Amino acid sequence: MIARLWHGRVPVGKARAYRDFLNRRAIPDYQSVSGNLSVQILERPEGDVVNFMTLTLWKDMDAIRAFAGDEVDRAKYYPEDAGFLLEFEPTVVHYTVVGRTGATP
């Protein structure tokens, strides 16, 4: 199992709308891909910005490739992100999951 982490920052005044966008648009997109096991959206305020971290779990790198394309380390953005994000980080980070609790996918 592979964890994929993406980070983005939005102005505090846009955080609620971005959270709603992620739940309405991004989560269903992740879940539509065979091999996606889960999606978590994390949020942390920091001064006048809010950090968002998307943590997704995938069956394997082939499932990630089906979502992100052949350049699996490149971040995937939606057109709507331009109205929220302060910058576009070019890459994501992947980790192999070596331990966990809870239900096994």
81-103 pLDDT tens trace = 999 999 999 999 999 999 977 76
User: Which of these, 37, 38, 35, 26, lies nearest to 76 by C-alpha position?
Assistant: 26
What's the token pair of residue 99? 């331990």
**Is residue 14 in a domain?**
yes
> Which regions in the chain score pLDDT beneath 70?
103-105
Q: Which pLDDT belongs to residue 101?
A: 77
Q: Which pLDDT belongs to residue 85?
A: 98
Per-position b or e across 87-103, b if 16+ CB within 10 A of its CB:
eeeeebeeeeeeeeeee
| Radius of gyration of the chain measured on its C-alpha atoms | 14
Host domain of residue 40? 2-96
Q: Which pLDDT belongs to residue 90?
A: 97
**Is residue 9 in a domain?**
yes
Provide the CATH number for the domain around residue 81.
3.30.70.100
What is the C-alpha separation between 77 and 75, in angstroms, rounded?
Answer: 6
Q: Which pLDDT belongs to residue 11?
A: 98
Per the rule left: phi > 0, alpha: psi between -120 and 50, beta: everything else, 37 is alpha
Three-class SS of residue 23?
Answer: helix
**Is residue 101 in a domain?**
no
Number of structural domains in the chain: 1
**pTM beyond cutoff 0.85:** yes
